[in-house]
Chains A and B, each alone.
Chain A
Amino acid sequence: MNTEINAKEDFKGYSEPALSLLKNYGVRVWSEIEADTDRGRFEGLVLPRSETLPGDHIVLKLSTGYNVGLNVAGIRSIEVKGYKKALYKIPEKEFPFDPEKPKVTLLGTGGTIASRLDYRTGAVIPAFSPGELFGAVPELADICNMKTIKLFGVFSENIGPEHWKATAEAIGKEIEAGVDGIIVGHGTDTMHHTAAALSFMVQDPPVPIVMVGSQRSSDRPSSDAALNLMDAAYAASKGDIAEVTVCMFGPTSDQYDLLHRGTRVRKMHSSYRSTFRTIGERPLAMVERDKISYLTTEYKKRRNDRKVTIDTAFDDRVAIVYYYPNMKPDIIDSLVENGYKGIVIAGTGLGHVNKPLYPSLKKAVEAGVHVYMTVQTLWGYVQMFVYDTGRDIMNLGVVPADNMLPEAAYVKLGWALGHSDDPDEVREIMMTPISHEITRREPIDGYLIMQGGLPEMDGFMKRYKR
């Protein structure tokens, strides 16, 4: 068994024809070799190869630190000169304890916020224990005392209801244990789904629950990770907002983070640092390394008690249907046939779908499926009274979900179905806001998407560095 594992490590990532070649010449990963090829001689250290790449090249690290690939077909002979396996460990420095400072628990779900780089393989080694974190971001010790719990290690896209439940329960325990704030480290792709889920599963917490991640990995000198983590630590330990929030870059410049409410936040750009935006409301606060500026007074304040409601009931038979022109009814039918209990539609405009879908939606509702309407415009309310079509759709039993974001509605419907199957009860749960997932009014600056190129924008990006 062991030798098998070793064999795998020795040829890590290599497939044919490279694999046979390596074996023939007695070469392993981390062998120092000199290769004679039809393009000349190359000397270096054999590195693991990415498994997703074809096996037609072997990867060599030259003494200059550069990697190059050698074509297997062009290799005439290889001489093994030595073996130099690298073992990496992140340095641990004890996280200093200061009884004067607030206690914060960092829950890890898998996204790496702090990490160290393995220069040879390029692998990023996550820093997670308090000691490792202190080694990577020593400034944290100026803000709080930190404890870390690794809940699981999954990529953001693989997070689901089981992880939401486990996280909510862990948060409950930490609150009970008396922490002053909680940080949840999370990959950014589905951070807003988890933020919404935690907003429903952890109700009325006495302390801040701050989700944080990074858009540029922390092995980069330009990473947003360290600042996000410091700001999250500040918001969790010293901030006054006892809600589930997301703490990520405000502008692309290294200036401040924004605290977004868990039910109103959304990732809006595939790669920008300032990708998270609050939709239809104002962000809650700006956070700098030693300062928090509140942008609203409408939030739940920090309390000294240890009371919190953890409610993790969840039914995962829910789907989001993103409507597009010419959508065929079989999309809805197949969901019903496959046993789905809830459907959130992201409709056009004020909340519309085409007529051919009507019979299927009616059938779905009659079959006991709970169907809710949201808008794919993201900003604005569903308003199904304006046009006849809206009224027709409502008459089918589709419930308008006000200005709930499609993802928040999806999470909430699963959570509501965890509590009841009765249409009226589910409707009652859905339409009673728990944490601003539905708001009564949209502030006049809740929708500000500025357009580049307009004369009014001239000078703006120069002056404000956004």
Chain B
Amino acid sequence: MKDQEYTALPPHLLREGKDADSSIDWRKLGFKSGLEIHQQLLTEKKLFCRCPAGIYGKEGEHDAEVLRHMRPTLSELGEYDGTALMEFRTRKQILYLLNQESVCTYEMDDTPPFLINQKALDIAVEIALMLNCNLVGELHVMRKQYLDGSIPTGFQRTAIVGTDGYINLRGRRLTILQLALEEDSCRELADEGHTITFMTDRLSMPLVEVVTGPELQCPSEVAEACELIGRLLRSTGKVRRGAGATRQDVNVSIKGGTRIEIKGVPSVRLIPRLVRKEALRQKALLEIRNRLWQKDLDPKGSARTDLVDHILTNTQSTVIRNALQRGHRVGAIRLRNMGNILSSKTVGGRTLADEVSGRVRVVACLDEPPYLIHRGTQGQNALSNREWRSIRKRLRAKAEDTVAIVWGPEEDVRIALEEIELRLLEASLGIPPETRQVLPDGLNDFERILPGPDRMYPDTDSPPVPVSDNRIAEARKQLPSHPLKRERRYLELGMPRHQTYFLAISPLHTVFDEAVTRGFSPKMAARLLVEERISLRRKGVNISLIPEDFYLDILDGLDKELFYREGTRRVIKAGAERSLSMEKPEKSTKKDKKKDQPEIDIKHILKELNFEPLKGEQLNTAVEKIMNTTDLPETKDPEAQKRYFMGAVMYRLAGRVCGETVSRIVEKTLRG
């Protein structure tokens, strides 16, 4: 199999990718995309303090709250950068919810950082090697500013572990610009009006950030790169899985456009659609710009604004009526010669008005959709013609002028009106550089202005950490083989794709290889290591502590017919329980627990489960006895009868008997 033919995408993603790629000439569009993949690492503790990692609190059950604000710091030229200014304008109160067990005073920025978690660093080094990066000689912890409140310090501690790596993708090399080790941020719970609420449990958990070059050429390729990198990371067995453990930011630009960053895309599956729609949104915005170039626009400052609530006291518009009842104000803005530009279509049934309202929502902290009403607004929120006439008259709007209204507390309304003017001015320049958030339908919405480059400075609280040759040599020993190569080998063994896919990224692939070397059937080994484990994990059994040798013992037991296939799950489960109880600290006194506790012994477990194999005459007798004591089924269909008795027998004897043999005996007994 050649590289070019091989794809990391599983079949369902392949289909979505093809759909997203269709009917657009991506090269001609000048499409470029890159990824930033954030992957939490599987460590016991957090990155800069000794809090346990991976303990998630339940909403509403927090122990304490802390209230903070973020204040922009001056940049090099003494100016506040765009993002900083915008976020300061929003005057947000930031509320942190804290849980005793998952957060200490470090996370709340009341204690300086402890030395960086060495285990996390080892994992990051291993990943850097896997991505063919140049490793740094010394790790320097930096502070990357975030003023949105997602980190209580106002900055994220982050350090470069490797640079200039690559992975093979579609027959060429995809650049890995850098691999950083950093602390995770808070989970946002709510952002309403002037208060943003964060849960702090995830805060400061170690993660790696993988940044690719902007070299991806079409939506399916973006998804494939994301999937492949994700699989590479998971194949180490040292990263977290599950909801929120992997999050990606997707950067998209087209010719003549601007780099747009879509934050926190939760799954690869969403990527093809999302990327396609973003490219189309940018294309539409460029077309809108071209249309605005045809118009005779006034320079900034010529907008006219006013409060117009008195005009709307008897309005039928639901949202305005509610706003006025609450004592909110309504403000209107007039922009010269922009016509019905707000109704211009962007993508997915959206218009330029949606772009503008996204900005107003965030910057002015307005919290009642649709945030903005204009002439094109339809439905229960629309204003009557008469109301529009009065507002336009008040603003001295001519026929070609654009008018829009917003509502909220007076100060917010003032900021919102300024922001509308600013955003429409940007529309005439092209695509404003923004960070956008993903919506469930594959569309996206404004989140914040893209941060400037001046957001990074050294963390004076953390000493540099040398990354020694020894450390790298140790990490290299841990490197798993490339999961794609592995998968190809498994496919060549004749295994089905649904097994090879999971096995290739499973840390237990070494067990599989060992099993095959020892001559066990690949099919049997794969079923044990993939399907049985996934099924138990789904049922909530914690199988993480089972020693790898135990799986080989199981295969050996099956091979020697110490028990039978149908009992496998129960054996694993018993092994899981035993491994957990061995781990429990209360059982270990000062003595080495490994000495006074028995190993996880398969024979012992089989005995406990009463898995004594039944063979020959013994088996015949046992089967007949069960069949005799089982009520006859109502059905006369011989096949159904057979299934019925099989079920009864296997329920009683699972694990102790070979299913096929039982089947033969049942059949014989029924016939006889």
Contacts and interface: CB of A to CB of B under 8 A. Distances in A.
B78 interface: yes
Given A62-B160, A119-B454, A461-B63, A42 B71 contact: no
Interface stretch (B140-148, B330-338, B515-523, B526-534): B140-148
A220 interface: yes
A221 B74 contact: no
Interface stretch (A51-59, A316-324, A350-358, A409-417): A51-59
A88 interface: yes
Given A91-B74, A119-B75, A220-B153, 9 more contacts: A39-B136, A57-B466, A67-B458, A68-B136, A222-B70, A253-B67, A253-B68, A254-B68, A273-B110
Nearest to A59: B140
18 contacts: A37-B134, A59-B138, A69-B466, A70-B136, A88-B76, A91-B79, A116-B73, A221-B147, A221-B154, A223-B71, A253-B66, A254-B67, A254-B69, A272-B111, A452-B100, A461-B64, A462-B62, A462-B65
B163 A67 contact: no
Contacts of B139: 68-69
B76 A118 contact: yes
B458 A271 contact: no
A465 B67 contact: yes
Interface in A11-57: 37, 39-42, 53, 56-57
Given A69-B140, A71-B138, A254-B68, A41 B164 contact: yes
B155 A221 contact: yes
A64 to B, nearest CB: 7
Interface string B153-195: 1110011100110000000000001101000000000000000
Contacts of A362: none
A70 B110 contact: no
A122 interface: yes
Interface in B446-476: 453-460, 463-464, 466
Given A64-B178, A121-B458, A465-B67, A222 B154 contact: yes
Contacts, number: 169
B143 to A, nearest CB: 8
B136 A219 contact: no
B476 to A, nearest CB: 13
Interface residues of B, number: 62
B230 to A, nearest CB: 23
B601 interface: no
A252 B75 contact: no
B105 interface: yes
Interface centre among A56, A218, A253, A273 (most CB of B within 10 A): A253
A400 interface: no
B71 A226 contact: yes
B135 A39 contact: yes
Interface residues of A, number: 54
Interface of B: 62-79, 98, 100, 105, 108-112, 133-140, 142, 144-147, 152-155, 158-160, 163-164, 177-178, 180, 453-460, 463-464, 466
A222 B73 contact: no
Contact of B142 (A41, A66, A461): A66
A272 B111 CA distance: 7
Nearest to A44: B163
B472 to A, nearest CB: 8
A271 B70 CA distance: 19
A220 B154 contact: yes
A66 B178 contact: yes
Nearest to A461: B64
A74 interface: yes
A359 interface: no
Contacts of A226: 71
B65 A461 contact: yes
Interface in A214-228: 216, 218-223, 226
A118 to B, nearest CB: 7
Contacts of A70: 136-138
A88 B466 CA distance: 30
Contacts of B73: 116-117, 218-221
Contact of A42 (B108, B134, B153, B457): B134
Contacts of B177: 64
A71 B138 CA distance: 7
B140 A68 contact: yes
Interface in A49-99: 53, 56-57, 59, 62, 64-71, 74, 86, 88-91
A69 B136 contact: yes
A122 B137 contact: no
Contacts of B74: 90-91, 116-117, 135-136
Nearest to A56: B466
B437 to A, nearest CB: 21
A122 B137 CA distance: 20
B78 A116 contact: yes
A432 interface: no
A255 interface: yes
A86 to B, nearest CB: 8
B76 A462 contact: no
A103 to B, nearest CB: 26
A466 B466 CA distance: 39
Contacts of B153: 220-222
Nearest to A69: B138
Given A39-B135, A68-B160, A69-B140, A462 B64 contact: yes
A269 B110 CA distance: 9
A180 B135 CA distance: 59
Contact of B464 (A53, A220, A273, A461): A53
B87 to A, nearest CB: 9
A43 B66 CA distance: 42
A93 to B, nearest CB: 9
A465 B66 contact: yes
Nearest to A464: B65
A252 B154 contact: no
A136 B72 CA distance: 10
A158 to B, nearest CB: 19
Contacts of B67: 253-255, 465
B332 to A, nearest CB: 30
Nearest to B133: A40
Nearest to A274: B110
A27 to B, nearest CB: 16
Contacts of B178: 62, 64, 66
Nearest to A93: B78
A44 to B, nearest CB: 10
